[in-house]
Amino acid sequence: MSVNQPPEFVKRQEQRADAFLGGKLSIAQPEKGFRAGLDSVLLGASLPLGTKHLLDLGAGAGVAALCGLAHDKGLEATLVENNAEMAMLASANVHANGFADRVTIVKISATATGAERKALGLGTDKFDVVIANPPFFDAGTHAPDPARAAARHTDGEVSGWVRTAVSCAHARGEVIFIHLAQALPQLLAAFDSRMGAISVLPVAPRPGKAATRVLVRGRKGSKAPMRLLPPLVVHSETGSAFAEPVRSILMGEARVDWHDGK
C-alpha cells in the first residue's frame, strides 16, 4: 500500500495524539493496545549519521521511523507493517507530520519470504539501515488487553526478523534491534551468524539496576569483534526525571552514541 490514506480511517479509530521529540512530532496511537514510547524513540535515534535509506520492520504507528526522519532531512524510509489498521494509522501519521514524499509503506509480515517481499517491491540488498522493535511478550504471558497482546505476542523467536533484516540491508548495511534484555542470547545468535561489528547497548532503568532492554547493532559483511557498551541509564537514582543523555534523546536534541554508549 502507499502512504495515501482514506480519511475515514482516522474517524473510526479510538486514538490519542502523543507528542514526541519535544513536540517536533505529533503521532496518533490507539487509545487501547500497544503504544510506542521510549523504546521506539531510542530506536529512531540510533541511526548512524548520513543514513539515506531506512527500513523499519514491524513499524506499528510509525514512531521509530518518524523519529529517524525528524533527525535527518536526507532520510527516506520504508515502513513494513502487517496489521492493516496500524499500517493505515502509520500512513496518517506520515501525512500529518509532513513526510509523505519521503515514506513508502508496505503491508506485509516482517518474516515474509523473499518472494513475497519481492512481489510487493520490497527489494533485497537495498537499505543502509534496517531497524526493528520485535514483539516481545513471551508465549503464555498475559498482556493487558487483546489488542496489546496481538501487537506484542511472540514465541520468543527473533531469528526470522533478523533474517529478513539482513536480507534487506545492502552489502555494508547495518541492522539495529531493540528488545528485552532476556532476549539477548537469541539476538546475539541470530546477529553473529550473519553479521559482524556487533555492538550491544544495555538500557537500564536506574544506576546500578539490571538492564531491561538492549539495543543491538550489527554490520553486514563485517568481521569486526563484538563490543559491549556501558549501559544507557534512563532515570537517576531517585525521582521520575529522565537522566542525560536520555532526556536529550527524548527531546530530539541528541542521538544514541554508539562509540561510548551514551
Look at the alpha carbons of 46, 48, 51, 56 in this order and tell me if their dihedral is positive or negative. Answer: negative
Confidence at 36, pLDDT banded by 50, 70, 90: confident
pLDDT digits (tens, 9 = 90+) for 212-221: 999 999 999 9
pLDDT digits (tens, 9 = 90+) for 4-35: 444 444 445 566 788 999 999 999 998 766 67
Domain 8-250's class? Answer: alpha beta
Name which of 96, 104, 80, 131 is nearest 24 in CA terms.
96
